[in-house]
């Protein structure tokens, strides 16, 4: 019980990142990042009066739901737990997910806000499904789809188990997750798939200590996101491919993907950091270890007339 309550407290810590009051930038020295993070992201009690009123009210009295695959919790499936959350929910609902594999396709609509999916870092649960573009379309193929604001995920494996696209069968793209809600936070979440693994669709999002793997365009969308201390893994077998595909369409838009103190891992050559999905795609890698698999050119214009590089 003590450990469980620690995890709940950790949840309230990470939900506050998007409401940073400090103008300090992320340190260039990676050794200072953790201390900067702890100094910058203050506990909820220290932030009262500075947060959006709806967020502050939601965090005042969180409700905890326990999902245990083997029994002993409130539910045995994640979908049943999600169904129990009221439409237009205005309170933080922490869904603690016990160990094991959950073979489910999960979707939370826009009206279900302030939801946390929380696993134990010492025995992380796996959310797994085999949806693909042929059956669901790419953006709806995810094992987990979230459109509600203020979503938090921590200590989870999220996987799409569809087979690797071979170019012969149409519709092989398969997302592990799509996030379309705003002000979402991810901590120690690992995303597994091949093409189009993670759809960072829209909204402001923050990722810390995560892992994302894939074979092509495996981080894509039009969100405004920061990825901090996250491993981006290029699965071997591609002669030429792309990590990101950002979809900023207008120069005045503030969307973009920013990777800070991240690692690009994998074997082989010819991996581009990204290609322009739309005319004004924006992707930044700062203070990051790009690894030998990254092509020297770095960026592919993808036949867009004047993309940002």
User: What values do phi and psi take at 145, rounded to 5?
Assistant: -125, 130
- Which residue bears the tokens 């279900």? 112
Which of 147, 149, 200, 217 is labelled catalytic?
A: 217
Q: Which two tokens stand for residue 188?
A: 């120690």
Phi-psi region of 138 (alpha: psi -120 to 50; beta: other; left: phi over 0): alpha
Residue 217: active-site member: yes
Contact 215, 164 (CB under 8 A): yes
Tell me the CA distances in angstroms from 84 to 75, 77, 112, 192, 288, one per residue in order.
10, 11, 11, 28, 42
The residues, any chain, with a CB within 8 Å of residue 2's CB and separated by 6 or more, are none
- Which residue bears the tokens 């790009």? 290
Please list the active-site residues.
217
């Amino acid at each position: 019980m003590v450990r469980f309550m620690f995890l709940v407290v950790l949840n309230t810590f990470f939900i506050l990142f998007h409401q940073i009051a400090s103008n300090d930038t992320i340190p260039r020295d990676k050794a200072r990042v953790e201390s900067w993070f702890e100094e910058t992201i203050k506990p909820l009690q220290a932030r009262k009066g500075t947060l959006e009123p709806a967020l502050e009210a939601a965090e005042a009295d969180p409700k905890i739901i326990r999902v245990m695959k083997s029994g002993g919790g409130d539910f045995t499936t994640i979908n049943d737990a999600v169904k129990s959350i009221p439409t237009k929910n205005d309170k933080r609902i922490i869904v603690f997910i016990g160990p094991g594999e959950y073979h489910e396709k999960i979707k939370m609509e826009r009206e279900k806000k302030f939801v946390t999916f929380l696993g134990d870092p010492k025995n992380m649960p796996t959310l797994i499904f085999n949806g693909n573009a042929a059956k669901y379309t790419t953006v709806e193929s995810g094992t987990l789809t979230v459109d509600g604001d203020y979503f938090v995920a921590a200590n989870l494996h999220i996987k799409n188990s569809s087979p690797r696209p071979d170019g012969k069968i149409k519709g092989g793209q398969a997302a592990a997750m799509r996030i379309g809600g705003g002000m979402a936070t991810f901590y120690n979440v690992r995303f597994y798939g091949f093409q189009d693994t993670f759809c960072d669709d829209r909204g402001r999002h923050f990722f810390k200590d995560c892992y994302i793997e894939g074979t092509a365009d495996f981080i894509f969308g039009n969100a405004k996101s920061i990825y901090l201390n996250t491993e981006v893994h290029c699965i071997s077998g591609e002669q030429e491919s792309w990590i990101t595909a950002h979809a900023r369409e207008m120069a005045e838009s503030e969307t973009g993907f920013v990777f800070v103190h991240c690692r690009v891992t994998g074997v082989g050559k010819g991996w581009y950091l990204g290609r322009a999905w739309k005319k004004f795609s924006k992707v930044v890698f700062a203070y990051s270890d790009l690894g030998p698999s990254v092509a020297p050119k770095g960026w592919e214009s993808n036949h867009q007339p004047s993309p940002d590089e």
